[in-house]
Amino acid sequence: MEFLEWDAVELSGALAAGRLSAVEVMQATLARIEAVNGAVNAVVSLRDADDLLAEARAADAAPRQGWLHGIPMAIKDLAHAKGLPTSQGSPLFAGRIAQQDDIAVARLRAAGALIIGKTNTPEFGLGSHTFNPVHGATHNPYDLDRSAGGSSGGAAAALAARMLCLADGSDMMGSLRNPAGWNNVYGMRPTWGTVPGDPAGDLFLHQLSTLGPMARSPRDLAALRDVKRGADPRLPLSAEWADCATGLTGDLPKQRIGWLGDWDGAFPCAPGIIELSEAALQQMAELGHAVAPMAPPFDADAMWESWTTLRSFAVAASLGAIYDDPARREHLKPAAQWEVARGQGFSATDIQRASSIRSNWFRAAMQAFETVDVLVLPSAQVWPFDVGAVHPTEINGSAMDSYHRWMQVVVPASLIGLPVVNIPAGFDARGLPLGLQLIGKRGSDARLLQLAEDWHRATGLPQAFPPKL
């Protein structure tokens, strides 16, 4: 169906005007999933078709709840959606049914979204390659022999394959950015605290990950971010930032862009990554933006030390009880066991040192933003790799000393909670996609989306180059 190619905002307008029905959209969505999901394996725990069509008929008969009214969506399989399993990609939780919606999922339902199932993710979201023992691997729609990235790999692949027009994601270490880049779509890590998580467990210490939207256009990205955003009184560090979607019409501001490249060699990149990134930046310059190379504003090794300490500390907090139980530990993948063991071994002094480095980087970043509006880095240091691999072990002869070292390029933004919009940057000679991270200062989500929208108007890459499935 032609409308499966549409932006979600356009689809919403057609539903509101009665030019399309929710039943028609649901039928087409289910048909597309049946046609291509077997090869891609992006949508998991799909609900019964008759039940979904009944919900679509009810949506057609009901007053509109919001702009998502009647639009099918799937939820990343780390979040709870009432009545659906939340496996987290782990056999320890396979088949466990959520008893209630997480905050962000409840907001999607309140805006009228019809939740059809889940999207695949790595085990516990660890690693930027979507495979797990419960649902298997998600394949890249642009090359089914390659990874779709992660941890929002199922979401990105479903978007690229036209199984969904919008997707729900989350990001700790590039989980919204790398899969968006590898699937020729948009992904946004909002300013930390914009989209509240679940009010469970510790509410103060582990400020690393955030929920966020994925889409095939910045306009959809902004609209979905606006549905999910907003402080929650149960989460003391959640924040109230303004909506962004209204700022994407008419003329858009020209911006000052600082290109960080490979961070002066600290982030080894596969051949072609830097060249394609710079070609995209040249296009931005031709659109009137001021683009200039920029010296690294902070020490990459110090950032890595801080990040890996705080990340392992956070993983140990979430998975420590499983790790401490010998009968359950064996069900954790090696990367998870390694993270927990590291996290449990740190002293209070180690954590304080990591936090001090983090604070120093934040101060340095704020100085950098005095001369530029946006910092730019590639979304990943390698191209989509063999779907049967676990992770890259080297880049250009540089050995990767951990399962996530090849994603070091996403750490500068993640470590201090900065907003990032991934934009599609183009393709290599093999037809493999790449993305760019547009990084802004805290609270600059709207400005980043305006730059992404300007880029999208000029290129329209997701629409111009769909995968051939």
Establish whether the linkage from the previous residue to 151 is cis, with ω within 30° of 0.
Answer: yes
175 part of the active site = yes
- Catalytic option among 45, 76, 228, 306: 76
Rounded-to-integer distance, Cα 72 and Cα 92, Å = 28
- Catalytic option among 87, 152, 170, 175: 175
What SS3 string covers 309-329?
A: HHHHHHHHHHHHHHHCCHHHH
Nearest Cα to 6, choosing from 18, 20, 227?
20
Q: What Cα–Cα distance (Å) separates residue 153 from each residue in 146, 343, 346, 365?
A: 12, 26, 31, 29
Bridge partners of residue 290, in order along the sequence: 256
Written as six digits, the tokens of 40 are 């891609």
In 229-385, alpha helices (H): 273-286, 300-323, 326-329, 334-344, 348-368
Helix, coil or strand: residue 147: strand
Q: Which residue has the tokens 């990001």?
A: 171
Q: What is the DSSP string of 402-461?
A: STTGGGGGGHHHHHTT--EEEEEEEE-TT--EEEEEEE--TT-HHHHHHHHHHHHHHH-H
Q: What is the DSSP string of 41-73?
A: --EESPPPHHHHHHHHHHHHHSPP-STTTT-EE
CB environment 379-391: b (16+ within 10 A), e (fewer): bbbbbbbebeeeb
277 part of the active site = no
- Catalytic option among 128, 151, 152, 312: 151
Dihedral (Cα; 229, 233, 237, 239), 10-degree rounding: 30
Identify the H or E element spanning 9: helix 8-17
CB-based contact 191:239 (threshold 8 Å): yes
209 part of the active site = no
Residues composing the chain: 469
DSSP E strands in 111-207: the ranges are: 114-119, 131-132, 136-137, 139-140, 143-147, 166-171, 186-189
CB-based contact 97:83 (threshold 8 Å): yes
Q: Which residue has the tokens 């009432």?
A: 82
Q: Which residue has the tokens 């051939």?
A: 468
Residues annotated catalytic, as ranges:
76, 151, 175
